[in-house]
Structure 1
Amino acid sequence: MMAHLRKKPTPDALDPVSRSLLPVLRYFLLGLQDTGHAGWQTAFGTAVEIWGEARGLAIAHRAQLFLSALLNSRPVPLSHSDPFCPEARLSLTDDECVLLALLSHMRDDEAPAARDMLAALTGGRIEAAVVRTGLDLCAVLDGTHGAQRGKGAPRLSVVS
């Protein structure tokens, strides 16, 4: 089938993790690419609504780090749907499809496919910061980040 005849996936067709992460990514992309917009605030709030305070803040923080690294490795902005537009929420841009596929392959430890998706997003540049922050995000999404640490609420301590 010709590429232009293929039907683009909709957010409803995404796996549950990708579907939950999509609005957070869109708000961050809006905030990171439009300097006059504070989409990052909405991204953090949305993540907390979806995953609860502790996990939501951790996911949002790592998503912001990942997207910042990714955008720094690209010559052009990522296309994304307006998270505030109800009609736009019903579809995915090409960049969103590739971005979510990249994260899905990273979560599933499918390195060759993840490399292909990352190369498609960056014009062939595979930067360590993007890979590291992407894997950190995926570990938090899958609940494996910090699994070796003790359970319970995070605690601050002074280190000298």
Structure 2
Amino acid sequence: MTLQVTLTPDLVQAPLVTFGFDPFEARLVSIMRHFVAAANAPGSQAWHRAFVIAAENWGEAHGLAVAHTLWPVVRELLELREGDFTSNDPLDLDTRDLLTTDEAQFIAMLHHMRRDHTAKARDAVEALTHGQMNPDLIRAGLSFADRFPSGARQRLRGTPALRVVG
């Protein structure tokens, strides 16, 4: 199946390292949490912090593109789940390296989409959305995966690559 995230009722969170996400995906967690916080408190500046963190992680040009492309995925998910998405506080140091079930399923969905594992990605979407295969969420996730595929050199499309010509 997928990187199904099944946590026992007494264990509602698990360490990030137990899921096997790559470093790029692990860095998405903080950005996602800030976007969730911004959606839950529209007057907050959490969205700004998400963009700042992305720029700090990957540089301004690349990081801002990551955050800009991740936001529609988070937005579609939150709209679909109607507020029923459990996320840790992005500023809580005690939970920085822990993932809730929902957070882990979200990153697992992107994990499989970025690797073009269609069946596993479909299972991950189904688990994350509680069986609702929402085309807007899938489209946003695939757009993110297309822009930032696993294993690809992380640079923006359209930016020139320097080559030595001899």
* TM-score normalised according to structure 1 size: 0.81
Within 5 Å, which residues of 2 pair with 1:93-132?
Answer: 93-132=100-139
**1:86 is the counterpart of 2:93:** yes
Q: What are structure 2's unaligned runs of at least 5 residues?
A: 1-5, 162-166
Residue 10 of structure 1: aligned partner: 15
Gap runs ≥5 in structure 1: 153-160
Partner of 1:158: none
Distance 1:24 1:146 in 2: 19
Q: Aligned AA for 1:151?
A: P
Which residue does 1:151 correspond to in 2? 160
1:103 Cα shift? 0.6
What percentage of residue pairs aligned between the two structures are identical? 31
Q: Which has the higher contact order (CA 8 A, sep 6+)?
A: 2
Q: Report the counterpart of residue 155 of structure 1 in structure 2.
A: none
Contact 2:54 2:64 in 1 (8 A): yes
TM-score when normalising by structure 2: 0.79
What is the deviation of 1:8? Answer: 5.5
Following the alignment from structure 1 to structure 2, what is the Cα–Cα distance between the partners of residues 68 and 7?
23
Contact 2:62 2:156 in 1 (8 A): no
